[in-house]
Structure 1
């Protein structure tokens, strides 16, 4: 729950997770969301060291910010798993470490000066985007006790990217050293209105406390809770009792990461740069959602409770599938948690922070996450009667409009806001924002319902939703052309016409009010992954589809995408995640390997800028981890498309004494990566796909032979496409 780290200001730049590589540090706060975009969230319950006495914390705090520009500051920041250190240009060193519900601050001040710490309950991460997504402080309470060495209270905050109403965080802090003075403050901008023993307010004033010490070494322990101040105090006492060293917390965090995360994947690789990538990606993909079991302020339940889902739109394509492989216990807990949210609030969350659902970028993609779990055999503790009822709520009930200023045509909070068109026309008119991208996702959502309905023997529902999953076809305009390809997913009016002016290579701003969200018509026109053979036929058959794929990845073709080689392919946005692997459906597994490997080696590295854009809550990291393994999941299906592994030997601990082992001979990750042959569990394999049961349900082994030259080894049955009917023959041998 606690993610303790620096908050940095650098002009009008949003620090989504608090951190920026340069700028002024203005606090170290307890709560962050890692790897997100959109707008900042949290950055609350902060401390900041100040050299000398503090006459006015609102002024002195600003004057004592670190100018943490790496070109001019005392030294670069230091980060490791479970540890962060900044050397401020005021001469203060600050080191932090954390547990589940508490954090430790360790300060070393310059000798010969008073040492002060400002605890700021009103501190929040701002947004400068002008979209109304900035956070606010709505009031709280701050009191000092324990001879001036302890403080407690709460803060009430609101808004952020998910437009959340008021939410409360309680805190309980202790300094290990006795301060020479301590007092609370309330102020507005730079003016202090109260500076004394305790303070409370329901206003938007700045609020906190100032603690001054006579020594240069100061240590603080702070617990937080979403339930109560007493629980925050209990959290810090149980997790960081007095006398705990910072190094002990770092060791504890690293031991836990090693046991529960990193040791799940072992490899023969000795190249330290590649190993840095592998384990950094494993780290980045597992930072959120946040396990808040026992910290649910809204209802009492025996179910697990997870928050900071940001967002299933980013995660459903390949991230949740990898979480299932690497963290099966937590994965099932998260499935149970979102179903429990539906029980108490009526809707599945597609995004959720501060215990508030919002926002839904496209479809109701929690449906895809549930279906993926179901078809891969997750049963046991999951109540699938409730799970399916939750999915059906999304499919049949239009959520009330929350009148989001950036897209006020329908709900962006939950469910499927454009459902009226979907049910009336079988497509979505431009009356609704994001009409085409929503239609693509609604099709996949309905496919997900069909799969669970089938497993539950709900025959009528299965037929209803498999038929609705084909509605993406109603957006296909065969007359639309671009770069020598014909047929694209386009906006469609209520009268059935496609008379909507647009360029398939361009999605205007590609944002909330537009027909396509965060990617182009070119990209979305590949996204009917459950109905791929019908898509191939609409694209001109096997040869037309091959030409379309090759055009998509051709460098130098599309100057508007200069950052990614002027290709139509944009690796920084999730709608294109699966596209490199679609060659498997037309018998060209070698080209799937080529396109995905070039993307992995071109747009990912072990240094700064090591992923192509925001982490998106680990989505980018999971995409390349699948690339390293040599597989790619088809969400809502048991199918995994076969790529090519990076390592001579990789072992993945699947839990319950099960292991997936992947080996390769004759190749290397940079140049000799084409598959020559494959054995699955010791048996020769001639298909460019396999299933969950083949290698994950009970463990398994993949043995690849690789080379620098491509061969057409996969001449067996093509991958399934459940909404397309029979798998066509001949593609694999063409």
Structure 2
């Protein structure tokens, strides 16, 4: 694509006439190897409930998204998640094609692949070693399977529907899923329906049920139900509590098409979803084209770039695609309560996504974003707490703070209003800040307090203003509780709740209570460390976090990283570290000592804190370029677990040339990648970003900047400057490390006296 063509595209997009198929640049296999855990199967629209794809086993590795590049396919199932960790979830409503008559449906029917799987936006294809080809397409609540069996074998073609199929875990942590029971019914017209009930997985949920309804395009030569005692039952209905269950359908044809609808509500709703979304004339091609159109319209058209570099195009659109696979929009599919509010599930996890994903979510999909905010609040109305994570209609698990507070605060300060009831929103946030969640579901990895929802270590937080070692993850929780309370301050202040605002403003500074000025490491003094009931600090080396896991004082990172995480109080942090030079040196050491891990969310913002020192913005650019070099658009293209698109959103922000400060209207300025980028903001508003004089790799440093046509000397902009009404950012880039950012430093709102309301 030439730059002149791209300019035409940008013009067409601005007038709502874009006709470019950006889905062609999406590699659905980006991040599917080496721990990225991306789901490569079919997701027909952003946030679609159905995620149809293969389930692969190698007997030793958890297939978090169902997919593994190596191993045996043992089913193609309707539900998955993308970029998750801990333990797999879903892999239910499964089918597996088999050549010939299936005498034992409980035998190992898995197959190797004869070639690598193929896929794109809206379609997926597997070639099995027994010469069966499986093609998949889907809609939001239904899936289409197309089977091509080998010809000339003079044997029947069979499809096994396994209700008891569920993704396993091999980690031995007690988080593996279980099949609890189900139903299966054969109807006179040849279709089948039923349900499966499952539990556990990464969020430790109790029993939940999915209902299914299936129809074949051809009449089965024979069909039967099986249970754990194999095929002795030929009745039309079978109920099972704890045994294997499913159905076997045999055909004389070599081409068989299967349509399946799913629902969390009932088999009737599953059949309705199927009939409404995939009629008998639908094809893999027609559903694929519909999915491409949907993704282009809802996501890809929103950002266009002036680049004809295939890798750049693939990186951008594959990353945007990965961002919006989950959460799942389950509006109308909530079995827990009746409500007129939207309902989103499969939230993994706000601990991962609140730093940079949700701010881009708002920009690219503002309507869905408002729905998501309303859903969080409605979950609290009915379940008692907003989720930090949620799956299969059940909250859990909380890794640190109650980060839905940060998400709501970020939305509020950036003007999200619409149909959001902000009084209820603040009430939901206040529940997190004041009510200790009951520890009724004991987590074996952190039995001291609830990891289901809320703030499990709240008793210490309220009594001492810090968290003692009687609670796991004490230090990392304390830092996060501080940012959570700053979120409450932001919303309380906006709603005119003066007393609440003062309370939470003061509590947002409590991270300071963990600061031990005498803790030393690598020539630096002052780190957040564990603290006892009597106020004494626990001697622990700042580079030492034990296992950095559930039972330790710090979660997934050490004191070097968490000491830099009070992003609402950076001026105070700088002073405690020893001023600008010491602050720069400490940031440098994160990289020089290889403490920083680009795949670990707690450190996401640290590389860009150089912007809080006059004239040092170029260092943030240098760090950003080094981090982006860890990405590519291939299977191993992510430097860590996708974490529901958190990793991809980090890269897209670097392409844009900004970094969001969650819960604030501040965006730190980096340096854009492209000569020109246009972001469609809705309501005929756009943000246009241009660069001249440099390039991404060899001349990336900002020489000068204009914001909305005016010269700019600050290393930050606000939501109001460029997003609220649209705007322009015009960069001049070059090789010189110019100290152009001489204006006001980015705000440190908790480092000053609270403004009078």
Bin of the TM-score, shorter chain as denominator length: over 0.9
Cα deviation 1:324-381 (Å, max 9, x = unaligned): 0000000000000010001111111110000001111100000000000000111121
* Structure 1 Cα separation of the partners of residues 278 and 235 of structure 2: 26
Match of 1:598 in 2: 626
Aligned match for 1:589, one of 617, 622, 634: 617
Using the size of structure 1 for normalisation, the TM-score is 0.95
Match of 2:603 in 1: 576
Match of 2:174 in 1: 132
Q: Does 1:261 align with 2:299?
A: yes
Using the size of structure 2 for normalisation, the TM-score is 0.92
* Structure 1 Cα separation of the partners of residues 422 and 217 of structure 2: 50
Aligned match for 1:38, one of 86, 93, 96: 86
Match of 1:459 in 2: 498
Q: Does 1:415 align with 2:454?
A: yes
Q: Offset of 1:195 from its aligned partner?
A: 3.4
Match of 2:429 in 1: 391
Cα deviation 1:207-254 (Å, max 9, x = unaligned): 000001111100000000001101100111010011211110011001
* Structure 1 Cα separation of the partners of residues 232 and 489 of structure 2: 61
Q: Offset of 1:505 from its aligned partner?
A: 1.7
* Structure 2 Cα separation of the partners of residues 571 and 252 of structure 1: 36
Q: Offset of 1:46 from its aligned partner?
A: 0.2
Match of 2:186 in 1: 144
Any idea what SS the aligned residue of 1:641 has? strand
Cα deviation 1:435-478 (Å, max 9, x = unaligned): 00000000000000001010011111111111100000011111
Q: Offset of 1:671 from its aligned partner?
A: 1.6
* Structure 2 Cα separation of the partners of residues 579 and 455 of structure 1: 28
* Structure 1 Cα separation of the partners of residues 702 and 188 of structure 2: 67
Aligned match for 2:476, one of 437, 441, 462: 437
Match of 1:96 in 2: 136
In the TM superposition, 1:472-483 aligns within 5 A as 472-483=511-522
In the TM superposition, 1:143-542 aligns within 5 A as 143-147=185-189, 149-187=190-228, 191-192=229-230, 194-401=232-439, 402-500=441-539, 502-542=540-580
Task: Kindly indicate whether the alpha-carbon contact (under 8 Å) linking 2:184 and 2:239 is maintained by their aligned counterparts in 1.
Answer: no
Aligned match for 2:591, one of 534, 537, 553: 553
Q: Offset of 1:314 from its aligned partner?
A: 0.4
Task: Kindly indicate whether the alpha-carbon contact (under 8 Å) linking 1:186 and 1:199 is maintained by their aligned counterparts in 2.
Answer: no
For the aligned residue pairs, the C-alpha RMSD in angstroms reads 1.1
Q: Does 1:67 align with 2:115?
A: no
Cα deviation 1:50-81 (Å, max 9, x = unaligned): 1111001011xx1x31223xxxxx21110101
* Structure 2 Cα separation of the partners of residues 236 and 267 of structure 1: 38
Cα deviation 1:654-687 (Å, max 9, x = unaligned): 1111111000001111121100000000000000
Instruction: Figure out how many residues of one structure are paired with residues of the other and give that number.
Output: 702
Task: Kindly indicate whether the alpha-carbon contact (under 8 Å) linking 2:527 and 2:560 is maintained by their aligned counterparts in 1.
Answer: yes
Q: Offset of 1:499 from its aligned partner?
A: 2.7
Match of 1:676 in 2: 703
Q: Does 1:635 align with 2:637?
A: no
Q: Does 1:7 align with 2:34?
A: no
Task: Kindly indicate whether the alpha-carbon contact (under 8 Å) linking 2:52 and 2:78 is maintained by their aligned counterparts in 1.
Answer: yes
Match of 2:5 in 1: none
Cα deviation 1:691-724 (Å, max 9, x = unaligned): 0000000111100000022100010000001000
Q: Offset of 1:202 from its aligned partner?
A: 4.2
Q: Offset of 1:12 from its aligned partner?
A: 1.6
Task: Kindly indicate whether the alpha-carbon contact (under 8 Å) linking 2:183 and 2:195 is maintained by their aligned counterparts in 1.
Answer: yes
Q: Offset of 1:479 from its aligned partner?
A: 1.0
Match of 1:86 in 2: 126
* Structure 2 Cα separation of the partners of residues 182 and 202 of structure 1: 18
* Structure 1 Cα separation of the partners of residues 548 and 232 of structure 2: 48
Task: Kindly indicate whether the alpha-carbon contact (under 8 Å) linking 1:139 and 1:200 is maintained by their aligned counterparts in 2.
Answer: no
Cα deviation 1:268-301 (Å, max 9, x = unaligned): 1110011100000000001011001110101111
* Structure 2 Cα separation of the partners of residues 568 and 518 of structure 1: 12
Aligned match for 2:673, one of 638, 646, 657: 646
Task: Kindly indicate whether the alpha-carbon contact (under 8 Å) linking 1:360 and 1:412 is maintained by their aligned counterparts in 2.
Answer: yes
In the TM superposition, 1:110-121 aligns within 5 A as 110-111=150-151, 112=153, 113-121=155-163
Task: Kindly indicate whether the alpha-carbon contact (under 8 Å) linking 1:443 and 1:469 is maintained by their aligned counterparts in 2.
Answer: yes
* Structure 2 Cα separation of the partners of residues 144 and 202 of structure 1: 15
Match of 2:16 in 1: none
Higher relative contact order at CA 8 Å, sep ≥6: structure 1 or structure 2?
2
Q: Which ranges of structure 2 fall in alignment gaps of 5 or more residues?
A: 1-48
Task: Kindly indicate whether the alpha-carbon contact (under 8 Å) linking 1:8 and 1:18 is maintained by their aligned counterparts in 2.
Answer: yes
* Structure 2 Cα separation of the partners of residues 194 and 688 of structure 1: 73
Task: Kindly indicate whether the alpha-carbon contact (under 8 Å) linking 1:533 and 1:721 is maintained by their aligned counterparts in 2.
Answer: yes
Q: Which ranges of structure 1 fall in alignment gaps of 5 or more residues?
A: 69-73, 558-566, 728-734
* Structure 2 Cα separation of the partners of residues 158 and 706 of structure 1: 54
Match of 2:693 in 1: 666
* Structure 2 Cα separation of the partners of residues 549 and 477 of structure 1: 18
Q: Offset of 1:193 from its aligned partner?
A: 6.5
Any idea what SS the aligned residue of 1:301 has? coil
Any idea what SS the aligned residue of 1:234 has? helix
